[in-house]
Every structure is written in structure tokens, then in C-alpha cells.
Amino acid sequence: MKFKKLGNNEELTQKLLLGFIAILLGFFLFFMKERLVVNTELSNLAERSLEPEVALANGRPTVFEFYADWCEVCQEMAPDILKLEAQTKNQIDLVLLNIDNNRWIDLIEEYEVMGVPQLDFFDSKGMHLGSLSGLHSFTDLRNISNSLISEQPIPSFSKDDEFGQVSLLPSEVAKIEDNGRNIRPMSHS
């Protein structure tokens, strides 16, 4: 097999192309690193979360966060969830429930999860107080936590805030695309 010798212009073009690809790869890895770290931290938090029934029965207020790894809104809110968990440790149980895990289908249906993130709030007796969907600031999350800890009513949010940026579940997208046909959460029909 014979190799054709490249001319100076072709060599320069190849080197420039390889350099450009290396720079693009560097940028990609740099920007993806933060997202991968957040996903890993959320996964670790989810793994060390109490089981839902244990959290609801242990005498502390509880927050369920229904999330998905693919959810950009969940990823954007993740640093605030981690910060909240660190600040309220031993005062509130934060239970992360990945909606892509079939283990949680009964809870997804019980709490009518139609999009992620969805936060469901419970008092120290395990009574469901309400839920909140979409992207919320750390201040909102902290105000809710303070209310749960002090056993005060949960602050209300305007309708615009309540359903701000939410990632719809695939079944909800299908419902919209299928002219409102009645499809239950997590059904993929």
C-alpha cells in the first residue's frame, strides 16, 4: 500500500482541522463537566434519601422531589436542592424520586406528576400539604422549608410562578400532541 505524500497546504489544513476539533472537544468537556457533577451529586442524594414511607413516618417534615436526569429544569435547580439539603439536614427529609425508575410509578400516579421537577410537601405527621411544579429560586425553596420546619402555612406562589419552567413527561407531550386523549402519567401509549 502506497501513501500519497501530502503537500504543505494539505498538511496545514489537516493540522488546523485537528486543532479546531481539539478546541471544540475541550469546550464540550469543560461545559459538560458541571452538568455531569450535578447529575452525580443528585444521584448520590437520591441514593442516600430515605425511603418515602420511612420519611413520612419519622416525625420530620418531608419534601418529595420528582425529577429526571434528562430534565434541564431539574439540572438548573439541582445546586439549590443540594444547598437546601445541606442547610436543613436533620430538620426536613428530602426524598428524590427519579420518574424514570419504575419503582416510583405508584407515587407518580398518587401525586399526579405531570411534569418535572415537582415538589410535594408533607408535615411532620406525613400529611400532604401541597405541591409545586417547575423552576423555583433558592429563596422560594428556603421560604417553603422554613414554613415546614416552623409548622406554618406554605407560602403561596402566583399561577405564573407555580407552573414556570416545567419539563413535561413524555405521556403529557403525547396527550398534547394527541388532542387531549386521556393518557395516564408514565403511560407510553
Instruction: Reply yes or no on whether 71 is catalytic.
Output: yes
Percent helix, strand, coil in the chain, to 5, is 50, 15, 35
- The active-site residue, picked from 45, 55, 74, 116, is 74
> DSSP secondary-structure letter at 180?
T
Report the alpha-carbon distance of residue 157 to residue 154 in Å, rounded.
9
**Radius of gyration (C-alpha) of the chain in whole angstroms:** 23
- The active-site residue, picked from 38, 71, 108, 183, is 71
Cis amide leading into 185 (omega within 30) = no
Nearest to 186 by CA among 111, 95, 74: 111
Cβ neighbours for 169, distance < 8 A, ≥ 6 positions apart: 99, 113, 114, 115, 116, 185, 186
Instruction: Reply yes or no on whether 74 is catalytic.
Output: yes
Report the alpha-carbon distance of residue 57 to residue 94 in Å, rounded.
13
Q: Which residues are catalytic?
A: 71, 74
